[in-house]
Amino acid sequence: MPTETTEPQAGTRTINVRGQRLRVFIRPGNGTRTPLLLMNGVGVNLEVLQPFVDALDPAYEVIRFDVPGTGGSPAPRVPYRFWMHAWLVAEMLDQLGYRQVDVLGVSWGGALAQQFAFQYPRRCRRLILVSTGTGALMVPGRPSALARLATPRRYQDPSHMERIAGETFGGKVRTNPEYARAFARSIRLGGQRGYFYQMLGGVGWTSLPWLCLLRQPTLILHGDDDPIVPLINAHILHRLIPNSRLYIFHDGHLGLGTSAREITPVIEQFLTTSTA
């Protein structure tokens, strides 16, 4: 919750955190819920999560930020490892005035969410992992889909995005091109250097050795048609995280947005249900 000395400010702004500029957006809540911190995928700016935020109960205060090198946050001087990203997030929360948050991470952001929950267990009350896995030691996706992640071209060329979206992201995007167009329109690429730095940050990282040590109640959400992160990875997370539950939805890698109406009530129930 917010500290007694700092009152979080609503809206979009850029803050300086230990020399790194971060673009942050805070949607105010009514103060009755633990604030929810969102962590996005590789190369993806905070606006992309708007469909989910719109579907979420207004009672929830929502914190979004652009990872260094993405959207409005400039690239760092050197690539950050995941533990460095988690440290930066903790420093950001200090500056914004939050002691404890619930954390939701999507894809690459799901890996960062795992790292943050492990590194700062008292600051993460509950953990939500969407369309993600255990990093280097996980069941890989389809080679054709993974190959497209090696370059940010899909974010730079909307027509290319529309052509490859179905095979790359799966789920509802396969049959509804408008989802791909909307996704492409919301992207604000921070530059190739930032994109590759973000990719490099996860090279060799894995959460497998310490997932059993996570004590936060954890909700794992995964689509049954995800070419990038196959569904079996969600079962692995569920098996290894002690206090976890798994919800499978009929969609693909972008399901948090394209299936927001189905997924959001599941998340809200998880966040408000007692674990006693």
Give domain limits for the chain: 11-272
Q: Given pLDDT bands bounded at 50, 70 and 90, which one contains residue 191?
A: confident
pLDDT at res. 9: 56
Distance of CA 132 to the CA centre of its chain: 9
Q: Given pLDDT bands bounded at 50, 70 and 90, which one contains residue 222?
A: very high
Percent share of the chain, pLDDT over 70? 95
Say whether pLDDT at 133 is over 90: yes
Lowest mean pLDDT among 30-34, 189-193, 240-244: 189-193
Report yes or no: 197 and 79 within 8 Å, Cβ to Cβ: yes
Q: Which helix (H) or strand (E) holds 108?
A: helix 108-119
The CATH H-level (homologous superfamily) assignment of domain 11-272 is Alpha/Beta hydrolase fold, catalytic domain (3.40.50.1820)
What count of other Cβ atoms lies within 10 Å of the Cβ of residue 125?
18
Give the single-character DSSP code of 12.
E
Catalytic residue from among 73, 107, 244, 259: 107
What count of other Cβ atoms lies within 10 Å of the Cβ of residue 276?
3
Q: Give first-to-last CA distance, the chain, whole Å.
A: 21
d(CA 24, CA 215): 28
Q: Is 107 a catalytic residue?
A: yes
Q: Given pLDDT bands bounded at 50, 70 and 90, which one contains residue 10?
A: low
What count of other Cβ atoms lies within 10 Å of the Cβ of residue 275?
8
d(CA 145, CA 138): 15
Q: Given pLDDT bands bounded at 50, 70 and 90, which one contains residue 4?
A: very low
Report yes or no: 215 and 187 within 8 Å, Cβ to Cβ: no
Say whether pLDDT at 1 is over 70: no
Say whether pLDDT at 5 is over 50: no
d(CA 135, CA 107): 10
When comparing pLDDT for 147 and 117, which is higher? 117
